[in-house]
């Protein structure tokens, strides 16, 4: 099974997230990652949905999404033609002895410490999945207290954007 990333433009209306998630649930498809936010047009939101499946599953998901009234556009974001990013916040146990070592790892990953307390530091990192996983693995050595990931966000590279695929409506 392959990983697929879909960029979906939807009307920014009440219940649209429930309808999209319900579509996946009714068909027994799992959403690996889902991020949603308003676009440059306040009436439109963009969903980035990551899922695992073969081409048949992908085709079925796209067809079903396009049947929903709130969905305006569905585009697959191909890895070689797109940029994917994720945000992670990691709260790590920190002592006087290991704080400097944690800070060095943070610098190497070009991440930043956004909160410090007597016994913990909170690290913020934006990057691709492999970079995030690598930092998490290193921070496990110090003891991760809490962790939260945003899920995948993505855009096509270059001049192409989701509105280049024909007419879309507001």
Any idea what the CATH number is for the domain that residue 42 is in?
A: 3.30.70.260
pLDDT for residue 81? 93
Give the separation between CA 137 and CA 132, rounded to whole angstroms: 9
Span of 30-34, 52-56, 114-118, 160-164 with lowest mean pLDDT: 160-164
Looking at the fold, whether 69 and 8 belong to one and the same domain comes out as yes
How many domains does the chain contain in total? 2
59: in domain: yes
Same domain, 149 and 88: yes
pLDDT tens-digit series, residues 104-132: 999 999 999 999 999 999 999 999 999 99
Indicate if 123 and 96 belong to the same structural domain: yes
Burial class of residue 155, CB neighbours in 10 A (0-12, 13-18, 19+): middle
Is residue 168, in this structure, part of any structural domain at all? no
**Could you give the angle at the alpha carbon of 123 between the alpha carbons of 120 and 129, nearest 5°?**
135
Domain enclosing residue 44, as ranges: 2-76
Q: Which of 76, 107, 133 is the last residue of a domain?
A: 76
Q: Are 10 and 50 members of one domain?
A: yes
Residue 97 confidence (pLDDT) above 80: yes
Identify the pLDDT of residue 169. 46
């Amino acid at each position: 099974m392959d990983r697929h990333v879909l960029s979906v433009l939807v009307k920014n209306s009440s219940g649209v997230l429930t309808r999209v998630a319900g579509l996946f649930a009714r068909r027994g498809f799992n959403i690996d990652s889902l991020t949603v936010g308003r676009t440059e047009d306040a009436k439109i939101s963009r969903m980035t949905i990551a899922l695992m499946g073969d081409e048949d599953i992908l085709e079925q998901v796209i067809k079903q999404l396009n049947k929903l009234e709130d969905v305006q556009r569905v585009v697959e974001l191909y890895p070689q033609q797109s940029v994917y990013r994720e945000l992670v916040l990691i709260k790590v146990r920190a002592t006087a002895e290991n704080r400097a070592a944690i800070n060095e790892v943070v610098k190497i990953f070009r991440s930043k410490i956004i909160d410090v307390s007597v016994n913990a530091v909170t690290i913020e990192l934006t990057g691709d999945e492999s970079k995030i996983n690598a930092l998490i693995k290193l921070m496990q050595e110090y003891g991760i207290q809490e962790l939260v990931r945003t899920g995948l966000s993505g855009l096509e590279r270059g001049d192409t954007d989701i509105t280049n695929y024909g007419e879309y409506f507001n």
